[in-house]
């Protein structure tokens, strides 16, 4: 970031030292370093460029935050709060982006003086202690927008200590990704805000990386990813509140990839689209998997068959869990349409059509729709499916936009959904659905077979290296494949191995938390451990493990041996969850008495935890190690 910031005079007048102002709070620099200006006229301009973050209810003060994180307060007059806004006219609004020298307010000097109040404008840097190295001021007569001070910022060496609220952190992030005008769209997954920016070079990576509450910054899959951790959903809500003018039509994949390789660009855009379509539904299907596993546990003969599979409670709760998977095309279609900026209801209706009970019955029975040129076109069962609906949502988006161009406005409300639903649903049922579903099911079966055949070697390799994909966000390319495996075969051998990688990173950060005598490391370590054991490794990885690289390697070593055990014993998972919390997904819902995969989970988890913990304790970490920088900016594939 820039180490020097020029501060302009907020008005025509006489610049004086802060110590010469009449307010004891400001003159003693209690609020921070700055200067005063005795104004000669009524116009007030912005001393710096940035985002308007505060406007006092009584209009006497305006706060501006720069992209560098400098927070400047323009306080118009001394004790003018008593006038309840009467002398002031504000020409900007909160969240506006302003340029240095831009008019932002007027103040009626005669009105202020007539009330026996001092009209001096105070300009202070309110986060002086956090950000300011020094401030040089040029006192004397000046014109508005002339440079009258230079702020020299501290070098970025450690995370900012001030903990921000979600609202404050949202404003900070927006300002440092280039402001609202640089944001095409923003989505989130389990741990990350994923921005689609017009120009990624305008984002301040170092400033964001070193703010408390932000674990790391990544450039991947055409997205500017801000890694937050468990609180990402709450932060996302605040970000959206501060972007009221975000245009849903701009939610299409950002094609600004500066790489010259069209294949790389296409892959990045595809991953970005899948990410946006799948991420909102991951939590729901993971929760459903846990419920199914617990139900299977309660039917175990070894536990006295606490639930009968034909009982009303079992069937009712099973329906609650099955709904997320059974109607998966509806949820994915709705999510994909929002991602594309088209009508999500139209996509959801198409998803509802292909999961209609009658069509599902026909698909299960292989009923023929029609015969053409000796070919039988059959109904298929699209419950639990993903990829046919993603393509259907894309087709619906393209057709919907074309129809809005050719149809008169007064016909669009009825005929756009009518034509779109009929055409896209027909194409999906007759052509694209059978082709894509066959390919997807084939890939899912092949992956399960490959992992099974490769045995311990495949488990060792996947277990050792899977979390590397998580570093760059490429694991989202695996997520839909795992979901498709479970949908088509009812199980996923690769997910059982992935489960060990989460446990490995959790065990490694647990060792750090126990061994370290540093309070902040302990606090972060225990919190990150819980998150990793619950299936979310980013807080552990970006908060500690990757910053002490040996810790990450130690966790991966443990996971490699856990994967080896899983592959050797041919363990598999029947749900979408991961980590220790995913234990219930190792029970086979169709054959609860078969506990082979559950025993595999217990052994593999124990091996993973013991090895990762021991390697971290004796090799991976000690308090004398210097914490490294957060993960360096990753170049997207195909870029220079």
Q: Which residues contact residue 499 at a Cβ distance below 8 angstroms, ignoring those fewer than 6 apart? A: 566, 573, 578, 579, 582, 601, 604, 605
Q: Is 150 a catalytic residue?
A: no
How many Å apart are CA 600 and CA 580, to the nearest integer? 13
445 and 489 in contact (C-beta within 8 Å)? yes
Residue 16 CA: distances (Å) to CA of 30, 121, 293, 544: 17, 10, 71, 47
Q: E strands along 340-426, which residues?
A: 368-372, 375-378
How many Å apart are CA 468 and CA 497, to the nearest integer? 14
Choose among 253, 281, 267: nearest CA to 472. Answer: 267
Angle in degrees, 0-180, between the axes of helices 479-489 and 493-515, rounded to the nearest 10: 130
Q: Which residues contact residue 257 at a Cβ distance below 8 angstroms, ignoring those fewer than 6 apart? A: 222, 264, 265, 268, 269, 636, 638, 639
User: Beta-carbon neighbour count of residue 147 at 10 Å?
Assistant: 13
Q: Among the options 75, 188, 219, 475, which is catalytic?
A: 75
385 and 329 in contact (C-beta within 8 Å)? yes
How many Å apart are CA 173 and CA 156, to the nearest integer? 17
Place of tokens 């009812």: 490
DSSP codes of every residue in 12-31:
SEEEEEGGGSS-HHHHTTSS
- b vs e for 91-101, b when ≥16 Cβ sit within 10 Å of the residue's Cβ? ebeebbbbebb
Give backbone dihedrals phi and psi of 577, rounded to 5 degrees, phi first.
Answer: -80, 175
Partners of 153 in the β-ladder? 132
Choose among 568, 571, 569, 575: nearest CA to 590. Answer: 575
C-alpha 62 chain-centroid distance: 31
Place of tokens 């060496």: 157
User: Beta-carbon neighbour count of residue 637 at 10 Å?
Assistant: 18
Length of the chain: 640
How deeply is 431 buried, as exposed, middle or buried, from its count of CB atoms within 10 A (0-12, 13-18, 19+)?
exposed
Structure tokens at 123: 């300009």
499 and 582 in contact (C-beta within 8 Å)? yes
Partners of 278 in the β-ladder? none
3-state secondary structure 411-459: HHHHHHHHHHHHHHHHHHHHHHHHHHHHHHHHHHHHHHHHHHHHHHHHH
How many Å apart are CA 43 and CA 106, to the nearest integer? 5
573 and 597 in contact (C-beta within 8 Å)? yes
Active site residues: 75
């Amino acid at each position: 970031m820039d180490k020097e910031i020029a501060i302009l005079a907020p008005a025509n007048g006489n610049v004086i030292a802060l110590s010469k102002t009449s307010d004891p709070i400001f003159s003693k620099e209690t609020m921070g370093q700055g200067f005063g200006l005795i104004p000669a006229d009524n116009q007030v301009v912005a001393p710096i460029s940035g985002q308007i973050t505060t406007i006092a209810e009584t209009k006497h003060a305006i706060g501006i935050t720069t992209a560098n994180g400098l927070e400047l307060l323009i306080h118009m007059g001394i004790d003018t709060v008593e006038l309840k806004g009467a002398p002031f006219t504000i020409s900007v609004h909160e969240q506006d982006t302003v340029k240095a020298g831009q008019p932002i307010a007027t103040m009626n000097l005669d009105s202020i003086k007539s009330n026996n109040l001092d009209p001096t404008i105070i300009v202070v840097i309110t986060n002086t202690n956090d950000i300011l190295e020094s401030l040089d001021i040029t006192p004397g007569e000046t014109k508005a927008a002339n440079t009258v001070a230079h702020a020299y910022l501290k070098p970025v060496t450690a995370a900012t200590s001030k903990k921000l609220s979600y609202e404050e952190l949202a404003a900070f992030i927006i300002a440092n990704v280039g402001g609202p005008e640089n944001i095409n769209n923003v989505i989130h997954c389990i741990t990350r805000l994923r921005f689609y920016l017009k120009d990624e070079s305008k984002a301040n990576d170092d400033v964001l990386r070193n703010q408390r509450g932000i674990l790391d910054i990544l450039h991947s899959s055409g997205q500017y990813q801000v890694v937050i951790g468990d609180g990402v959903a709450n932060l996302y809500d605040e970000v959206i509140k501060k972007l009221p003018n975000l245009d849903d039509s701009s939610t299409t994949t950002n094609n600004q990839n500066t790489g010259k390789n069209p294949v790389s660009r296409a892959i990045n855009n595809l991953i970005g689209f899948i990410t946006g379509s799948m991420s909102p539904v991951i939590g729901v299907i993971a929760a459903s998997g846990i419920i199914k596993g617990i139900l299977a546990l309660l039917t175990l003969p070894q536990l006295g068959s606490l639930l009968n599979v034909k009982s009303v409670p079992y069937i009712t709760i099973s329906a609650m869990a099955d709904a997320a998977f059974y109607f998966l095309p509806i949820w994915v279609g709705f999510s994909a349409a929002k991602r594309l900026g088209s009508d999500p209801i139209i996509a959801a209706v198409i998803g509802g059509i292909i999961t209609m009970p009658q069509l599902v019955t026909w698909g299960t029975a292989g009923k023929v729709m029609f015969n053409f040129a000796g070919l039988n076109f059959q109904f298929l069962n699209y419950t639990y499916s993903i990829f046919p609906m993603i393509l259907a949502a894309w087709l619906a988006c393209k057709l919907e936009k074309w129809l809005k161009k050719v149809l008169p406005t007064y016909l669009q409300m009825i005929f756009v959904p009518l034509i779109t639903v009929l055409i896209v649903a027909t194409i999906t049922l007759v052509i694209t659905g059978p082709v894509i579903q066959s390919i997807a099911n084939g890939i899912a079966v092949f992956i399960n077979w490959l992992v099974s055949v490769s045995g311990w070697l495949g488990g060792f390799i996947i277990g050792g290296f899977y979390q590397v994909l998580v570093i760059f966000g490429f694991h989202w390319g695996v997520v839909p494949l795992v979901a498709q495996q479970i949908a088509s075969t009812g199980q996923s051998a690769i997910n059982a191995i992935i489960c060990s990688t989460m446990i490995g990173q959790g065990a490694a950060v647990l060792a750090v938390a126990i061994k370290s005598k540093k309070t902040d490391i302990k606090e972060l370590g225990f919190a990150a451990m819980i998150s990793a054991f619950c299936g979310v490794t980013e807080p552990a990885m970006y908060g500690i493990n990757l910053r002490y690289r040996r810790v990450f390697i130690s966790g991966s070593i443990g996971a490699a041996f856990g994967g080896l055990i899983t592959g050797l014993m041919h363990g598999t998972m029947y749900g979408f969850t991961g980590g220790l919390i995913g234990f219930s997904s190792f029970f086979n819902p169709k054959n609860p008495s078969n506990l082979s995969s559950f025993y595999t989970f217990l052994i593999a988890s124990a091996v993973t935890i013991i090895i990762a913990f021991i390697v971290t304790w004796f090799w991976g970490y000690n308090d004398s190690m210097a914490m490294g920088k957060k993960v360096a900016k990753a170049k997207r594939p195909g870029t220079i």
